[in-house]
Amino acid sequence: MQWLQAAGRLIQEQVLGMEWLNVLIGRGVSALGLDPASRWGGSIQFFLYDTIKITLLLCLLIFMISYIQSYFPPERSRRLLGRFHGLGANMASALLGTVTPFCSCSSIPLFIGFTSAGLPLGVTFSFLISSPMVDLGSLILLTSIFGGKIAVIYVAVGLAIAVVGGTLIERLHLEEYVEDFIRTAGRVDAELPSLTRRERLEYAGEQVAATFRKVAPYILAGVGIGAVIHNWIPEQWIEGILGGGNPFGVLLAVIVGVPMYADIFGTIPVAEALLGKGAQLGTVLAFMMAVTTLSLPSIIMLRKAVKPKLLGIFVGICAGGILAVGYLFNALEYLLI
């Protein structure tokens, strides 16, 4: 049993966490005449280490996920989801979201396509919630930084919010609040070409390049903000605002997170720094979920597809679920960390 635990630590710390890279960069910073324990030296080490680590993991994960995704183009995904009914359809849709686009704005066109194709509204909303909030990449990256337990918890509660949110929207029968051009769109049942393995590999490579170009600015911004929080903002400030002494910390994290626009990869470095400075676990999880699911650009895009009442209900369900998760895991933090 001990060897199994040792192997788990090795994978988390050296393979996923790349602690060897952190040590190597620390030596490089020292060779430049900077002290890694100083503010400037620590900031440079944090920035280089997190940027390189996230980039390496991200490119590998995008390639793997895109290869899997090549088996599930939109029309085939629609057909697959059409085989499920009731709660099972919401669960299948939420799980499908884990191997699809990495940000909320990229998920909305697929949501529109699924809705136009006649899938139940609740099913499409389960997909819309889960796609930006949780994916296979976030599970690996979260494991590399926070550990497997927190990573699994984040993905599990994200999927739960997606399933519950989609189910509630389905029960409210809000189809009339979808914009007319979507409800009246014709369904296309085209034959799907079968890709060769080489074509799938080429597709995965193209997705790596395209996705990285899109998310790279958010990774750099997120790591930069994380470096500032980690090395320049006093721990007492973070504890006072987002720690256990402030009962409104979760609400504040959600309010701050909504105007931001980033995917999970740009959000993780900020969350890492906040947690290291004394922010509560639930507050950090709520912040990540708010940024990835309820960003203002995605809300503006979604407004083009649904009417204000449905949009308001969607935001309310997501915000309520995120707040509940935040406060619940703040209460259970002592069991998890």
Q: What pLDDT is attached to residue 274?
A: 86
Tell me which of 9-18, 36-45, 252-261, 314-323 is least confident: 9-18
Q: What pLDDT is attached to residue 129?
A: 86
pLDDT at 247 over 80: yes
Q: What pLDDT is attached to residue 45?
A: 92
Q: What pLDDT is attached to residue 25?
A: 94
Torsion of CA 153, 156, 162, 167, to 10 degrees: -120
**Confidence class for position 263, pLDDT limits 50, 70, 90:** low
**Confidence class for position 30, pLDDT limits 50, 70, 90:** very high
Does 9 map to a domain? no
Q: What pLDDT is attached to residue 93?
A: 87
Both structure tokens of 47: 């920035």
Separation CA 59–CA 218 (nearest Å) = 15
Average pLDDT over residues 203-225: 84
Does 8 map to a domain? no
Both structure tokens of 255: 């309010």
Separation CA 187–CA 17 (nearest Å) = 46
Q: What pLDDT is attached to residue 197?
A: 86
**Confidence class for position 261, pLDDT limits 50, 70, 90:** low
89 Cβ partners below 8 Å, 6+ apart? 81, 120, 122, 123, 126
Cα 77 versus chain centre, distance:
21
Q: What pLDDT is attached to residue 187?
A: 52
More confident residue, 323 or 298: 323
Does 31 map to a domain? no
What type of residue sits at position 179?
E
Separation CA 4–CA 59 (nearest Å) = 28
Does 145 map to a domain? yes
Tell me which of 22-31, 130-139, 258-267 is least confident: 258-267
Separation CA 264–CA 260 (nearest Å) = 12
What are the pLDDT digits (tens) for 110-140? Answer: 787 778 777 888 888 998 888 877 877 667 7
Query: Domain range for residue 256?
Result: 15-20+36-336
Does 26 map to a domain? no
pTM confidence score: 0.76
Separation CA 221–CA 269 (nearest Å) = 9
What are the pLDDT digits (tens) for 291-307? Answer: 878 877 778 878 888 89
Does 10 map to a domain? no
Average pLDDT over residues 193-211: 84
More confident residue, 131 or 311: 311
CB 128 within 8 A of CB 313: no
**Number of domain units in the chain:** 1
Separation CA 227–CA 225 (nearest Å) = 5
pLDDT at 103 over 70: no
Tell me which of 99-108, 161-170, 252-261, 285-294 is least confident: 99-108
Tell me which of 42-51, 109-118, 199-208, 227-236 is least confident: 109-118
Does 131 map to a domain? yes
Q: What pLDDT is attached to residue 312?
A: 92
Both structure tokens of 116: 């136009």
Does 27 map to a domain? no
Highest mean pLDDT among 40-49, 152-161, 240-249: 40-49
Q: What pLDDT is attached to residue 82?
A: 73
Q: What pLDDT is attached to residue 164?
A: 92
Average pLDDT over residues 241-268: 79
